[in-house]
Amino acid sequence: MNVLITGNMGYVGPVVVRHLRRTMPDVRIYGYDKGFFGHCLTDAAVLPENDCDVQYFGDVRAFPDEILQQVDAVVMLAAISNDPMGASCEQVTDQINHLACADIARRAVACGVKRVVLASSCRMYGSAEGGARKETDALNPLTAYARSKVATEQALAALDPGNAILTSLRFSTACGMSPRLRLDLVLNDFVACALASGEITILSDGMPWRPLIDVEDMARSIEWALTRQADQGGQYVAVNVGAAEWNYQVRDLAEAVVRRVPGSRLSINADAPPDRRSYQVDFEKYRQIAPQHQPQVTLDQAIDRLKLGLERMHFSDANFRNSQFMRLKVLEAHIDGGRLTPDLNWTAQ
């Protein structure tokens, strides 16, 4: 199988490529990335893209047909990938996360590609009371990022798949160690705070619910989407990816980190405005249709791996929220340095 992964040079991509190399040794992997975060390596002895057979550099908004003609499957990871970035670049977020992905999926099916996998998000549930959200429940996207995922899922669902199998993986909030670590994710941020300053400060009341998933388990679900049969959900399926035990309140996550990082402490800003992004998610459908690819990493394991990885890097930057560990800061630095235009195209240097 020849597999194309767009956005392979981000936080999740290197872990996915490494997992596919281990579990699908005959796969031929094509990477396609614009390279915004290529230099943001963390605890990596070699360039992660060495695990790809071919690495292309380019923009998903101008994706060439000839690559699609070489592959059997497309995994779409490329995205403006969190809420602050989406708020800063709302129009570009729609162009990349929605319009480009929908166009690639449509052309892939037309070219005879047999599998299309979208990295979607449980963020589309937004603010949800009354129990864990199922795939059939109403969506309430609160951000440009979440709205872009809803629109792309709608585009995939409307396609005539022909003989293709299409999968939208509604991922929980990502966490865990990666060769290109992000610290603008809730659990990763807490571990970094505990190590760098010894204190975790929650900028809310700590009560919002979040479902989480380790990047290793995200990779496991992508392997499932690349190999599943149509009777596992249908020719097109949108499915929540995670596990019931990974529904946590933010305060519980912080307390778990304090338990695993000796000498750290927790403070909660009781005066902070409430965070509307609160939701629990039901993962029963995924448990039923992907029984062999269920999440395996525990919360304590994810924390310990983050702690070990950061310690190997001699991490001690208490000001990390202004560093390249924050994806928005990287884009802003590229733009301020004249390397990127505001619509996120490389300039001629």
Task: Flag whether pLDDT at 6 surpasses 80.
Answer: yes
Which pLDDT score, from 0 to 100, does residue 82 have? 67
Residue 178's pLDDT is 97
Range 166-195 average pLDDT: 96
Q: At what angle do helices 215-227 and 13-23 cross, to 10 degrees?
A: 50
- How does residue 212 score in pLDDT terms, banded at 50, 70 and 90? very high
Mean pLDDT over 278-287 rounds to: 93
- Cβ-based neighbour number of residue 347 at 10 Å: 11
- Rounded mean pLDDT, 64-75: 96
Residue with tokens 């035990």: 245
Q: 126 versus 238: which is more confidently predicted?
A: 238
Task: Name the band, by pLDDT with cuts 50, 70 and 90, for residue 26.
Answer: very high
Please give the C-alpha separations between residue 72 and each of 28, 161, 215, 252, 298, in angstroms, as whole numbers.
10, 14, 24, 42, 33
Q: What is the pLDDT of residue 273?
A: 66
Does pTM surpass 0.85?
yes
Mean pLDDT score across all residues of the chain: 93
Question: Could you tell me the pLDDT band of residue 83, with boundaries at 50, 70 and 90?
Answer: low
Q: Taking 90 as the threshold, does the pLDDT of residue 216 lie above it?
A: yes
pLDDT value, residue 23: 96
* Contact present, 107 and 37 (Cβ < 8 Å): no
Radius of gyration of the CA atoms of the chain, in A: 19
Please report the sign of the dihedral spanned by the C-alpha atoms of residue 147, residue 152, residue 155, residue 156: negative
Phi and psi torsions of 263, nearest 5° = 85, -5
Residue 251: CA atoms inside 13 Å, Cβ hemisphere, count? 10
Answer whether residue 274 shows pLDDT above 80: no
Q: What is the mean pLDDT of residues 284-300?
A: 97
Q: What is the pLDDT of residues 31-61, one digit of tens each?
A: 999 999 999 999 888 899 999 999 999 999 9
Model confidence at 231: pLDDT above 80: yes
Q: What's residue 202's pLDDT?
A: 87
Residues 213, 172 contacting (CB under 8 angstroms): yes
Which carries the bigger pLDDT value, residue 327 or residue 87?
Answer: 327
**Which of the residue ranges 83-97, 272-286, 335-349 has the most confident prediction, judged by mean pLDDT?**
335-349
Strand 199-202 vs strand 265-268: parallel, antiparallel, or unpaired?
A: parallel
Of 4-18, 216-230, 267-281, the one with minimum mean pLDDT is 267-281
Tell me whether residue 102 is exposed, middle or buried, using C-beta atoms within 10 angstroms of its C-beta: 0 to 12, 13 to 18, 19 or more.
buried
